[in-house]
Structure 1
Amino acid sequence: MSEQPASYRDVFAVREYRHLFAANLLSLIGDQLTAVALSFLVYARSGSPLLAALTFAGSYATWVIGGPLLSVFADRLPRRRVLLVGDLARAAIVLLMLIPGIGVWTLVAMAFVANLFRPPFQSARASLMPDILHGDRYTVANGLDNIVAEITQVAGFALGGLLVAAGSAQTVLAADAATFLLSAALIATGLRGSAAATRATAQPSGSWWAETTAGARVVFADRTLRSYLLLFWLSCLVYAAEGVAAPLAAEYGAGAWTGGLLLAAMPAGVAVGGVLLTRVCAPRLRQRIMLPLALLSCAVLLPIAARPPLAVVLTLFFVSGLAGSFSIPLNALFGRAVPAAYRARAFGVAMSGLCAVQGLAMFAAGAAAEWLRPTLVVGGAGLAATVAVGVVAASWPRVTEPVPVPVAA
Structure 2
Amino acid sequence: MLSILANRTYRHLFSAQIIALIGTGLATVALGLLAFELAGENAGVVLGTALAIKMIAYVGVAPIAAAFADRVPRRSMLVALDLVRGGVAVFLPFVTEIWQVYLLIFLLQSASAGFTPTFQATIPDVLPDEREYTRALSLSRLAYDLESVVSPLLAAALLTVISFNSLFAGTVIGFFVSALLVLSVQLPSPQPSQPRGIYDRTTRGIRIYLKTPRLRGLLAINLAAAAAGAMIIVNTVVLVQGQFGLTQQDTALALTAFGGGSMLAALALPSLLDRISERPVMLGAAAFASGVMIVGAMVSNFPMLLILWVLAGAAYSAALTPSGRLLRRSAHPEDRPAVFAAQFALSHACWLLTYPLVGWLGATFGMGLAFLAMAAIGTAGAGAALRVWPKSDPDVVTHIHDDLDADDPHIADAEKTQRGFRHAHAYVIDADHAAWPTR
2:60 is aligned with 1:70: no
- Residues 297-308 of structure 1 correspond to what in structure 2 (within 5 A)? 297-308=289-300
Alpha-carbon RMSD across the aligned residues, in angstroms, is 2.6
* 8 Å Cα contact 2:81-2:115 kept in structure 1: yes
Aligned to 2:201, which of 211, 236, 249?
211
Residue 128 of structure 1 aligns with which residue?
A: 122
CA shift in 2, pair 1:371/1:188, >3 Å: closer
Aligned to 1:146, which of 114, 130, 141?
141
CA deviations on 1:289-329 (whole Å, 9 max, x unpaired) are 33223322222321222334432232122112212222222
Per the TM alignment, residue 79 of structure 1 is displaced from its structure 2 partner at its CA by: 1.0
2:183 is aligned with 1:188: yes
Per the TM alignment, residue 97 of structure 1 is displaced from its structure 2 partner at its CA by: 4.1
- Residues 164-183 of structure 1 correspond to what in structure 2 (within 5 A)? 164-183=159-178
Residue 323 of structure 1 aligns with which residue?
A: 315
Residue 420 of structure 2 aligns with which residue?
A: none
The aligned length equals: 394
2:428 is aligned with 1:403: yes
Residue 8 of structure 2 aligns with which residue?
A: 15
* 8 Å Cα contact 1:93-1:114 kept in structure 2: yes
* 8 Å Cα contact 1:39-1:55 kept in structure 2: no
2:225 is aligned with 1:200: no
Provide the rounded CA distance (Å) in 2 between the counterparts of 1:304 and 1:39. Answer: 28
Aligned to 2:356, which of 363, 379, 385?
363
Per the TM alignment, residue 232 of structure 1 is displaced from its structure 2 partner at its CA by: 2.8
2:299 is aligned with 1:272: no
Residue 391 of structure 1 aligns with which residue?
A: 384
Letter of the aligned partner of 1:51 in structure 2? V
Residue 4 of structure 1 aligns with which residue?
A: none
* 8 Å Cα contact 2:38-2:96 kept in structure 1: no
Aligned to 2:226, which of 227, 236, 239?
236
Provide the rounded CA distance (Å) in 2 between the counterparts of 1:92 and 1:330. Answer: 32
Aligned to 2:336, which of 343, 363, 386?
343
* 8 Å Cα contact 2:63-2:345 kept in structure 1: yes
Gaps of 5+ in 1: 1-6
Residue 311 of structure 1 aligns with which residue?
A: 303
Q: Which has the higher contact order (CA 8 A, sep 6+)?
A: 1
Aligned to 1:292, which of 284, 287, 305?
284
- Residues 94-133 of structure 1 correspond to what in structure 2 (within 5 A)? 94-97=89-92, 103-133=97-127
CA shift in 2, pair 1:205/1:316, >3 Å: same
Residue 51 of structure 1 aligns with which residue?
A: 46
Per the TM alignment, residue 110 of structure 1 is displaced from its structure 2 partner at its CA by: 2.3
Residue 83 of structure 1 aligns with which residue?
A: 78
Provide the rounded CA distance (Å) in 2 between the counterparts of 1:328 and 1:392. Answer: 16
2:183 is aligned with 1:222: no
* Structure with the greater alpha carbon radius of gyration: 2
Letter of the aligned partner of 1:127 in structure 2? A
Letter of the aligned partner of 1:41 in structure 2? L
CA shift in 2, pair 1:161/1:53, >3 Å: farther
Aligned to 1:246, which of 237, 253, 261?
237
Per the TM alignment, residue 367 of structure 1 is displaced from its structure 2 partner at its CA by: 1.8
Letter of the aligned partner of 1:284 in structure 2? R
Gaps of 5+ in 2: 398-426, 435-439
* 8 Å Cα contact 1:70-1:120 kept in structure 2: yes
CA shift in 2, pair 1:316/1:389, >3 Å: same
* 8 Å Cα contact 1:40-1:52 kept in structure 2: no
* 8 Å Cα contact 1:204-1:211 kept in structure 2: no
CA shift in 2, pair 1:301/1:353, >3 Å: same
2:255 is aligned with 1:259: no
CA shift in 2, pair 1:284/1:182, >3 Å: same
Provide the rounded CA distance (Å) in 2 between the counterparts of 1:43 and 1:291. Answer: 41
Provide the rounded CA distance (Å) in 2 between the counterparts of 1:373 and 1:104. Answer: 31
| Superposition TM-score, scaled by structure 1 size | 0.87
- Residues 367-386 of structure 1 correspond to what in structure 2 (within 5 A)? 367-386=360-379
Letter of the aligned partner of 2:237 in structure 1? A
CA deviations on 1:213-271 (whole Å, 9 max, x unpaired) are 11100110122222233223333221231222233222233343333333333222111
Provide the rounded CA distance (Å) in 2 between the counterparts of 1:108 and 1:33. Answer: 18
Per the TM alignment, residue 158 of structure 1 is displaced from its structure 2 partner at its CA by: 3.6
Q: Which stretch shows the higher mean deviation, 227-236 or 142-151?
A: 227-236
CA deviations on 1:39-92 (whole Å, 9 max, x unpaired) are 423442454513354446544442122222223233332111111001111222
* 8 Å Cα contact 1:240-1:378 kept in structure 2: no
